[in-house]
Structure 1
Amino acid sequence: MQTLKNSQIMDNEIKQLIVSDEKVAHVQLENPLDHALLILIKSGYTAIPVLDKSYRVQGQISKAHILDSILGIERIEMERLHDYKVKDVMSPKVPRMHKDETFGKALMLSINHPFVCIEDHDHSFVGILTRRSILALIHRHFEK
């Protein structure tokens, strides 16, 4: 039986799997929370990357982060969306790797994250690698 460990797939570069930065929904540190929530809802994603003005990854923001910040004792306080910026509620922890790293690392990082941010050697945002694209490649590999 074919295994991933003995396969060359683990050493392949990830370049062909990257969703380019032009196609990735993201927000910036200074965006208001209502803007971030709108982007998340319209994109259908639960979390998206947060970038700074230099287009470098600073973290991620999710619907859960936003809802936690406006959750009152008795109700969701939507009016508080204007009181916060993305940088106030985002998580600085986001999986990231360089665009020339291997599939094995991407697979490991995707276990606990729906996407991995991809950076170039200047740490500029290049795009994301989704868990879906990783699983699709594994599926194609085993169908051979």
Structure 2
Amino acid sequence: MMNQAIDTMLIENRKHFMIPGEMVASVNADNALRHAFLVLTKVRYAKVPVLDNDDHFLGLISLAMITEPMLGLDDINLKPLDELCVKDVMETGVPTIEDPYDVENVLHLLVDSPFLPVVQADGTFTGIVTRREVMKGINYIGHNIDKRYDMTPLPPTEA
């Protein structure tokens, strides 16, 4: 269980952790791989969310997922960029969170992911919580916890 003071301060800043969906680069599941390749190259993100026509979150796509079908043993074939769609190569089964979210759960999930998609109960994509924004919140706590709480050191314990 997380320290109550830290949990309280993280919860107070929770709204700052989420980047709204309209500010996040994404692609449609039906887009050609060529389009996703251009988006990922231009925004310089490792992965972006994949949405359907109704803004429901379906998965993630990365450059590696796009280039894998292009690579042969001794050549690069560009045909898959036009022949395949995002839905053909995207990653599914991605952990998501709903807002309001449990901060401790988010911390556990961000160990293995640079960001977490935030969805509504019906699966509609509303944004992402990034490891970077959460780390900014932890940095804030490290610099301000003693201004809010009496921090009296305890004697060292034997391990």
Query: 1:137 and 1:69, CA in 2 relative to 1: closer, same or farther beyond 3 A?
Result: same
Report the CA distance between 1:117 and its aligned residue: 0.3
| Superposition RMSD in Å | 1.6
In structure 2, give the amino acid aligned to 1:77: N
**How many pairs were matched up?**
141
Taking the aligned partners of 2:112 and 2:24, their CA distance within structure 1 comes to: 20
Does the 8 Å contact 2:16/2:133 carry over to 1?
no
Say whether 1:28 aligns with 2:25.
no
Choose from 2, 6, 13 the match for 2:3. 6
TM-score by length of 2: 0.82
1:40 corresponds to: 40
Residue correspondence of structure 1 range 1-144 to structure 2 within 5 A: 5-10=2-7, 12=11, 14-144=14-144
Taking the aligned partners of 1:10 and 1:95, their CA distance within structure 2 comes to: 22
Report the CA distance between 1:131 and its aligned residue: 1.0
Can you give the 5+ residue segments of structure 1 that lack an aligned partner in the other structure?
A: none
Q: Secondary structure at the match of 1:75?
A: coil
Does the 8 Å contact 1:10/1:102 carry over to 2?
no
In structure 2, give the amino acid aligned to 1:30: D
Report the CA distance between 1:105 and its aligned residue: 1.3
Does the 8 Å contact 1:34/1:82 carry over to 2?
yes
Q: Secondary structure at the match of 1:81?
A: helix
Taking the aligned partners of 1:69 and 1:8, their CA distance within structure 2 comes to: 49
Taking the aligned partners of 1:131 and 1:123, their CA distance within structure 2 comes to: 21
User: Identity of counterpart residues, as a percentage?
Assistant: 34
Taking the aligned partners of 1:58 and 1:128, their CA distance within structure 2 comes to: 14
Q: Which has the larger radius of gyration?
A: 2
Q: Secondary structure at the match of 1:50?
A: strand
Does the 8 Å contact 1:21/1:125 carry over to 2?
yes
Can you give the 5+ residue segments of structure 2 that lack an aligned partner in the other structure?
A: 145-159
Taking the aligned partners of 1:67 and 1:15, their CA distance within structure 2 comes to: 36
